[in-house]
Amino acid sequence: MTDESGPASSPAPAGNAAASVNGTRRQRRAILWAVWALVATGVAMLQLDTSAVGRAPATIDGPETAALAPRAARVQKVVARPGDVVAQGTPLVELATADVDLEIAVAEAELARLSSAVDAAVLDVRGADFETGARLEADAERAAVDLSSLAAEQKRDAAELATVEGLLAKQRELVEKKLASAEQRDQLDLRRAALAESVADATARLATAQAHAARADARLAEWKKSHGQGADDARTGPERASVRAQEERLRQLRAEKDTHTLRAPVTGRVSAVLAVEGAALAAGEVAVRVQDDSARTATAWVDEQSAGKVAVGDRARLRPTDGRGAERTGVVRALGAGVAELPPRFRQIPGEVSFGRAVFLDLDPLEGALPPLPGQAFESSFTAGRGGAS
């Protein structure tokens, strides 16, 4: 039985070996597929990593603007308190104005004096003009009267000459007929000669009088043209220029007094009040700081390995790290000049220096949600180009 059973059990080892070989082949193929899948996944992740950067820390910018003292002055009243929300132009601090008030009073007195000097100069000019104008008008009137008198005298002599010539002609006829004496004829002849000479002289004098009257009228018309309304302004120019300069000085002083009320330079929240009532401030010293909380910009910090993967124009999405508040979107406006040390709050390991690149963002308008606080931390991600944020 042993011989019969031996040959019957001999094929079993060969079948087990074939099965083992097939199993090994399947395991190898599975390992190869797994390796290929891992490689493909790594390549895909590398490709994805070249187009997007995730989890870059960011903060909302809130630049501070200072209200400065325009000149050395004592603080009269402090209106603002830290934490107050103020609109642009809201009074924050009132400075004492005693010094500028004194300058304004002196400037007003000087302006009144200069204005009086202008009035006096105008009266002098107009007084001299009145005398000159009256004289020119009198000359024109005398010339006109002389011209009229000469014209009337010429007409009278001419009429009398015509009458004498008529009588002389009749007298000559009578003398020729022996009806009258020659003596009366000779008298009429002498009278005619005198009248003829007078008429000729009057004609010459009339021409002279006409020319004189014309010149007198021209002088009067020219004077009226150059001394009409507003003519005294030109001749009192220096005095009026002094008044205008003093008015400008007074305007500047009043504008300077207005600057003694320090106002909010921007809309935001008062972050610090350095002015103290009764204390003195030097010119240019900070009195109040106001933080702009309009949240129009943000700064992200991309780690050193990903510093070259973000470009200007890329889209960004910001998510609050504490999960509170609305997400923000924006576009990359500019990049830092190079790799720099990250702010301590964004170090991966506290106390260990980390490096990255600053990315400056312009945020999109936010409608219907409360704005984030300046300095609030976000996690940002970027997408190449101007498509939607990742």
Is the pLDDT assigned to residue 387 strictly greater than 50? no
Q: Give the residue-averaged pLDDT of 119-134.
A: 66
The band of 312, judged by pLDDT with boundaries at 50, 70 and 90, is very high
Residue 334 CB burial class (10 angstroms; 0-12, 13-18, ≥19): exposed
pLDDT at 129: 59
Q: Give the residue-averaged pLDDT of 115-125.
A: 74
Is the pLDDT assigned to residue 10 strictly greater than 50? no
Is the pLDDT assigned to residue 231 strictly greater than 70? no
The band of 389, judged by pLDDT with boundaries at 50, 70 and 90, is very low
pLDDT at 261: 92
Topology of 64-97+260-291 in CATH?
A: OB fold (Dihydrolipoamide Acetyltransferase, E2P) (2.40.50)
pLDDT at 222: 76
Q: Helix-strand-coil percent breakdown of the chain, rounded to 5?
A: 55, 20, 25
Choose the weakest-confidence range: 189-203, 222-236, 302-316. 222-236
Percent of the chain residues past pLDDT 70, beyond the cut: 78
Q: Give the residue-averaged pLDDT of 140-158.
A: 81
More confident residue, 390 or 308: 308
Per-residue pLDDT reduced to its tens digit, 243-263: 889 899 999 999 988 988 999
Is the pLDDT assigned to residue 371 strictly greater than 60? yes
More confident residue, 138 or 95: 95
User: Across all residues in the chain, what is the average pLDDT?
Assistant: 79
Phi and psi angles of residue 245, each rounded to the nearest 5 degrees, phi first: -65, -40
Per-residue pLDDT reduced to its tens digit, 335-363: 998 888 988 888 878 788 889 999 999 99
| C-alpha–C-alpha distance, residues 346 and 138, integer Å | 99
User: Domain boundaries in the chain?
Assistant: 64-97+260-291, 101-250
The widest CA-to-CA distance across the chain, in whole angstroms, is: 226
Long-range contacts from 272-275, C-beta under 8 angstroms, 24+ separation: 272/82, 273/78, 273/80, 273/81, 273/82, 273/92, 275/75, 275/78, 275/93
Residue 361 CA to chain centroid, in angstroms? Answer: 29
More confident residue, 136 or 78: 78
The band of 95, judged by pLDDT with boundaries at 50, 70 and 90, is very high
| C-alpha–C-alpha distance, residues 114 and 125, integer Å | 16
pLDDT at 45: 46
More confident residue, 20 or 217: 217
pLDDT at 323: 82
Q: Give the residue-averaged pLDDT of 21-50.
A: 59
CATH of domain 101-250: 1.10.287
pLDDT at 127: 64
Q: Which residues of 298-326 are buried (b: 16+ CB within 10 A; e: fewer)?
A: bbbbbbeebbebbeeebbbbbbbeeeebe
